[in-house]
Structure 1
Amino acid sequence: MGAEHTGVSIDSTVESSAAPLLDKLVSDRIAGKLAAQDPTLWGSEAEAEAAIRLSWTTLYQTSRPLIGEIEALRTDLRSEGIDRIVLAGMGGSSLAPEVITGTENVALTVLDTTDAGQVADALAGDLDRTMLVVSSKSGTTVETDSHRRIFTEAFTEAGIDAASRIVVVTDPGSALAELGENEGYRKVFLADPNVGGRYSALTAFGLVPAGLAGADVARLLDQAAGVADALSADSADNPALRLAAALGSAHADGAEKVVLADTGSGIAGFGDWAEQLIAESTGKQGTGLLPVVVEDAGAPGFADAGQDATPVAIGELLGEATIAVAGPLGAQFLLWETAVAVAGRLLGIDPFDQPDVEAAKKAARSLLDDPGSLSETGSPSAVFGSVEVYGDVSTSDGLAGVLREFLATAPEHGYVSVQAYLDRLDDASAGLLRAELAKRCRLQTTFGWGPRFLHSTGQYHKGGHPNGVFLQLTGAVETDIAVPDRPYSLGTLQRAQALGDGQVLADNGRPVLRLHLTDRAAGLVDVMRAVQELAS
């Protein structure tokens, strides 16, 4: 198969099990109805939402006018010496642009964090060469609004007209669209409002920041167009129907987790984008597919996936995988969007809502409204070196004992979620914990940077299968950043998001353990040593 081939390879056993589902999808003409944007495919309760969420199926055509607008603005910026693009956006507003630019090896600084250190690093770049893209569907995303305020102040203090250095991507009629017009921002791009955030890779949310950074977005749309006919065909050869049937059949057999590993696709970080699509679309009403993004095909949880997980290769190599999905990035975007939407039908849920995401946001807002509640209630349960432990602890067997006791609360075939409210650049070593924990606890283990995972897997954590345990990592803030015209700093906001989500998880009966690193570097070493002391 050539590098541009798009297709799905499935293990013969799984393909045989999925055959009845695939036949039913074909006979019911699901692909054709989806391509025609039929909102009835997910039942009467989902119809109203689906009716305003299906324009993603034709974006490979309808987004083409953006190409000229992006190219014209990029040319103007380069002529002014502006060649550094910083993107402020969360979830669907940042994950696709990061994959697109990473795949094309184009520089894009992505701010999907409330960590003061990471934001400070972005501010330290050459502001004379910087354009900020503020991207928010609702126009009220607290993280993104905070970044906008901080950069506006920084531009102004540097003697730069802030309005000339801000580009907005948002939905028509949003508060951000109005602000952009009133403030005279450089340009306001209005995205198609009938596309949900996680399906927005080929809208202005994905294309504008990537294109301004230098990615070839026209090629991306061409790649999606090249597979569109195959995805709309009511045929057993339709790759999206085959993928959906395989995932649906595996879930029915108890494989509720989808383990994603890259096997030479040439796409950078595709799993992080697919993670949001799968988790937010399917993780609700106590069911769903939990995406587990692993380091490579030999990582713990992939090569040794148990009966509760389906290993999926992103690339043409099937190898240890049950399913392999191949194709260029634009085609993969559309293929996975189609497959996950159809999988939602098979699971009996609405793939376009996210009913449990707002709970964590509300909890964080209530903490911000009452800053006194952010102070620790009492002392930590235990302290080990640079690590403070918050949670139920009954063991005296050191930090390893605390972790062992906590992991024991996970049910059979449950999962462990590691949530790092840290700097994903300077504290990148935290990501090593996923594989180390998975190897030792023999449970599928996910890793997410906070608060970005709240806009991704956070829906599944509260709404999906109720069998997860949650390990939070928070860290001391050395140099905080105030948010202009707001009564909080980034450090306060980050803390509120961690404590708020932890409280919502606990209220939903999910076990939560928080490890607070009073010294981030030393604390991460202490945590890693404790994990390595666990029996493998």
Structure 2
Amino acid sequence: MSTDQVKAADLVVTLEGAVRDSAASARERLVADGIPAKLAAKDPSLWGPDAAAEAAVRLGWLDLPRSSRALLPELSRVAAEKRAAGLDRVVLAGMGGSSLAPEVIAATRGVELTILDTTDPHQVRRAIEDRLERTVVVVSSKSGGTVETDSQRRAYEAAFRAAGIDPAERIVVVTDPGSPLARLAEEAGYPTFLADPEVGGRYSALSAFGLVPSALAGVDVTALLDEAEALAGSLAKDTDNPALLLGAALGGFTGHDKVLLAGSTPAGLGDWIEQLVAESTGKDGTGLLPVVVEGPDAPGFVPGPDSHLVAFAEHGDPGADLADTVVSGPLGAQFLAWEYATAVAGRLLGIDPFNQPNVQESKDNTKALLEASGDGPLPSGTPLLVDGPVEVYSADSGLYDGAGDLTEVLQRLVRAVPEDGYLAVMAYLDRDPAGEGEAAEVRPALAALTPRPVTFGWGPRFLHSTGQYHKGGPHNGVFLQITGEVTDDLEVPGRPYSFGRLQLAQALGDFGALGDRGRPAVRLHLRDRAAGLARLREALDSVRP
């Protein structure tokens, strides 16, 4: 079997077999067009005239290994001040690019960081009630208007005030200059770190969005920047450029548009890559679908005819013998390499890797549902059937007409996945282990029933990630949405809705967006969450492959 291996600093990319040959051809085209030097020089014309205006203000991530060092003195001062005040628990309120990278950084470096990227009232309430007297909250939003983050901020402000604590002593803000959140923070006296506005959210791992919460939690972020900077010198090169090779493999492996991601270190890196690749490439009816699998023994691990396996590791070989592509290296270098590779893949795919044209649709649907329903119930529709604690709704009733129970619905769902398609599971539940974290087990259970890739996302978290691909990518997805009854709701202070109402509106809004595009979608509503998940597991066990 032919092998191609490229190393720079401590990052190594190794390609095997067919992907090696396809990538070699793609890399030759990229080098012939001068792409490495042009990208390193931040040439906005690389993705065509329609993308040039967006690209011109979205290439700042290339400078971050050096430019982010300007944050370090003030960040060190604020972190020391909070620790001296006995604030040793850090909560990050943020979504998508504002939360996924810090989650990986903290987990990989072994420090505690509570990620609050949900509107589930049970999960939000549990976070607020946990060691409030020792908590500092990082409120992180690029736009400054992210509804989930705004709601979480309001809830924490109210909790601090109720406990006799000045929120200005406990809240730190990360946002772009001039955003509504920046103005609010100035008025409230919150310490504020302004990020580079020429860095998009999913490319912001090495910016203030990744560094501030991580440093407050105790991570040595200087080492992270050192790891990235060691790789940065190779990005303009035609040879000895592992990030270029990775981009050529992702975008140049024609016909292989499903990318299986496996690796235990850096911890959680697959979820970060998933957002970066799916939201960057899933548009204009094309794209690369990342599929995060649990490990070499997980169902869905073996690549199919339109997929290939990428294994990653922080140190050494990840041990994935079936992998077509192996990426090994420290976390800072991984962040920069994957960002560069995704931009290169966008060039090969002929898309703009910096916009997200379909993300706003579900947000608009959510807002419209909340405004139109007023104080009344949200328009959730009439269930096709009720199987014990599970109600079944469909955006394509013809597919499930006459289904007698949940098992038959799931049977038809699995069989509806086209030969070139995928099945996406989207769970609007409490993802903590203390909540409904076991819902993630639905992915491997379904993957064991179909040869097609199965993805899993927590709602509304995935709306800032794979949600773009679901609506803008190829029309070959089948969707399973899971919602649950709320038993202990929590009001959003200063807003005419609760967290539970917002969560359901987000689910219904996205369900409507999928239905409007003709995507086959079914929603399972758990009238009792624990009993509903138990019934779902039972039904899955009865489905015939």
Output the TM-score relative to the length of structure 2. 0.95
Q: 1:229 Cα shift?
A: 1.3
Give the CA RMSD over aligned residues: 1.5
Judge conservation of contact 2:8–2:241 (CA < 8 Å) in 1: no
- Give the whole-Å Cα distance in 1 for the aligned partners of 2:454 and 2:242: 28
What is the SS of the residue equivalent to 1:219?
A: helix
Aligned equivalents of 1:472, 1:328: Cα separation in 2: 35
- Greater shift in the superposed pair: 367-376 or 454-463: 367-376
Residues 479-505 of structure 1: CA deviation (Å, up to 9, x unaligned) = 000001100000000000000000000
Opposite residue 412 of structure 1, the aligned amino acid is: E
Q: CA deviation at 1:3?
A: 13
- Note if 1:161 corresponds to 2:166: yes
Amino acid at match of 1:84: R
SS of 1:245 mapped into structure 2 = helix
Alignment of 1:422 with 2:429, yes or no, is: yes
From 7, 15, 18, give the equivalent of 2:12. 7
Q: Counterparts of 1:67-216 in structure 2 under 5 Å?
A: 67-185=72-190, 187-216=191-220
* Structure 1 residue 142 displacement after superposition: 0.2
CA gap 1:363/1:42 in 2 versus in 1, 3 angstroms: same
Kept in 2, the 8 Å contact 1:278–1:290? The answer is: yes
Structure 1 counterpart of 2:331, one-letter code: L
Find runs of 4+ consecutive structure 1 residues off by over 6 angstroms: 1-4
The letter for the 1-side match of 2:216 is: L
Which aligned pairs between 1:220-369 and structure 2 lie closer than 5 A?
220-235=224-239, 237-250=240-253, 252=254, 254-262=255-263, 264=264, 266-302=265-301, 304-315=302-313, 316-317=317-318, 318-369=320-371
Letter in 1 for 2:246: L
Aligned to 1:439: 448
- Secondary structure of 1:25's counterpart equals helix
Give unpaired runs (5+ residues) of structure 1. Answer: none
* In 2, Cα distance between equivalents of 1:489 and 1:361: 16
Deviation of 1:407 after TM superposition, in Å, equals 2.5
d(CA) in 1 for partners of 2:221 and 2:68?
A: 10
Tell me, yes or no, if the aligned pair for 2:381 and 2:393 is still in contact at 8 Å.
no
Local SS of the residue matching 2:111: coil
C-alpha deviation, 1:378, in angstroms: 4.8
Counterpart residue type for residue 191 of structure 1: A
Say if 2:472 is the partner of 1:474. no
Q: Secondary structure of the residue that 1:232 maps to in structure 2? A: coil
Secondary structure in 2 matching 1:506: helix
Give the CA deviation at 1:352: 0.2
Q: Deviations over 1:414-444 (max 9, x none)?
A: 1000000000011011000101101102210
Task: Specify whether residues 378 and 496 from structure 1 end up closer, same or farther in structure 2 by C-alpha distance, changes over 3 A only.
Answer: closer
Correspondence 1:43-58 to 2 at 5 A: 43-58=48-63
Match of 1:387 among 387, 390, 393: 390
Give the drift of 1:374: 4.7
Q: Distance in 2 between matches of 1:92 and 1:383?
A: 38
Would you say the 8 A contact 1:374–1:495 is kept in 2? no
Residue 453 of structure 1 is matched in structure 2 by 462
Contact 2:304–2:451 (Cα < 8 Å) also in 1:
no
Q: Give the match's secondary structure for 1:441.
A: coil
Residue 198 of structure 2 aligns to a residue in which SS? coil
Measure how far apart 1:408 and its partner are.
2.4
**Which of 395, 398, 404 is the equivalent residue of 2:405?**
398
CA contact (8 A) 2:8 2:242 kept: no
The percentage of aligned residue pairs carrying the same residue is 57
Give CA deviations for 1:429-485 in whole Å, capped at 9, x if unaligned.
100010110110221000000000000000000001110011000001010000011
Whole-angstrom distance in 2 between the partners of 1:521 and 1:305: 33
Deviation at 1:20, TM superposition (A): 1.7
Cα distance in 2 for partners of 1:19, 1:395 equals: 52
The one-character-per-residue Cα deviations of 1:84-103 (angstroms, maximum 9, x if unpaired) are: 11110000000000000000
Equivalent residues, number: 529
Unaligned runs of 5+ in 2: none
Given residue 192 of structure 1, which amino acid in structure 2 is its aligned partner? D
Q: Does the Cα contact within 8 Å between 1:87 and 1:135 map onto a contact in 2?
A: yes
For residues 150-169 of structure 1, give each alpha carbon's deviation from its aligned partner in whole angstroms, at most 9, with x where no partner exists.
Answer: 00000000000112211110
One-letter amino acid of the structure 1 residue matched with residue 123 of structure 2: Q
Question: What is the alpha-carbon distance in structure 1 between the residues aligned to residue 510 and residue 378 of structure 2?
Answer: 16
Asked whether the 8 Å contact 1:4–1:328 carries over to 2, the reply is no
- Output the CA distance in 2 between the equivalents of 1:440 and 1:267: 29
1:413 Cα deviation from its structure 2 partner: 1.9
